[in-house]
Amino acid sequence: MHDRPNEFLVRTAPFAEPDRDAVYRAIHTRRDVRDQFLADPLPDDLVRRLLQAAHAAPSVGFMQPWSFLLIRNAQTREAVWRAFTRANEEAEAMFPEERRSAYRSLKLEGIRKAPLNICVTCDPDRAGPVVLGRTHDSRMDAFSTVCAIQNLWLAARAEGVGVGWVSIFREAEVRGLLGIPERIHIIGYLCLGFVEELYATPELEVKGWRKRLPLEEVVWGEMWGQSVALAKTGD
């Protein structure tokens, strides 16, 4: 007996090589942008494509817990920047003394320079109290929202748009500034704008803050026929 063909399935195949290369190019050349933003506004249709890419992300129980708050207003961005500045001073003091001047020299946001900021939030109640797949780990809605951010980030790379993720602020403060209800979590505060140049390697590596780890250091178990242990980490 043959199963009836499932009309919802479409035939699939690996991407043709140029398409595959384009996907990997977006992944490997995506950068976190803090300073290279051009002032030109992003056209609405482009922003819509980026949001569609974000909204196509996987999510636990298909709950789609994300919302995207678009911020162009210069005064609002200035207020968020002030919240960043306060937190950044606190952040500096958390590092060992010998790293503080290096920390201080890093540019860690593009809030005022980027013409568009997007605050990406997560609503834990979007799909009711019991969510398929979140039953044993409540972090899954936040993880889903991060998937949406990564989709947006990669789509932006393909569109010539730089994205910078800013996480140095007190959540309650920015929530208050943006009128976000208390039960909604801020997952990512993103700065977006066209870019003509990107760092070829992560800026934090270029500036001597931290290097990319070799793949071998983060893979363990049965790797390429060999049993490998997780390399000792921690600086």
Ligand X SMILES: Cc1cc2c(cc1C)N(C[C@H](O)[C@H](O)[C@H](O)COP(=O)(O)O)c1[nH]c(=O)[nH]c(=O)c1N2
Chain positions contacting ligand X, by CB under 6 A:
31-32, 34, 108-109, 165-168, 202-204
Closer CB to ligand X, 31 or 77, in the complex? 31
Q: CB 129: neighbour CB atoms within 10 A?
A: 7
H or E segment to which residue 195 belongs: none
Integer-rounded Cα Rg, in Å, for the chain is: 20
Smallest distance, Å, CB 144 to ligand X?
A: 14
Closer CB to ligand X, 166 or 195, in the complex? 166
Q: CB 100: neighbour CB atoms within 10 A?
A: 14
**Helices and strands per DSSP (H, E), number in the chain:** 7, 6
The DSSP letter of residue 75 is H
Smallest distance, Å, CB 1 to ligand X?
A: 50
Closer CB to ligand X, 32 or 141, in the complex? 32
Smallest distance, Å, CB 6 to ligand X?
A: 37
Distance CA 116, CA 42 (A): 7
Closer CB to ligand X, 61 or 162, in the complex? 162
Q: Which residue is nearest to ligand X (CB)?
A: 202
**Ramachandran angles phi, psi of 214, nearest 5°:** -65, 145
Closer CB to ligand X, 32 or 159, in the complex? 32
Greatest Cα-to-Cα distance within the chain, rounded to the nearest angstrom = 73
Least Cα distance to 177 among 109, 119, 100 occurs for 119
Smallest distance, Å, CB 45 to ligand X?
A: 26
What would the two tokens of residue 183 be? 């039960």
Smallest distance, Å, CB 16 to ligand X?
A: 27
Smallest distance, Å, CB 64 to ligand X?
A: 20
Distance CA 127, CA 62 (A): 9
Closer CB to ligand X, 124 or 202, in the complex? 202
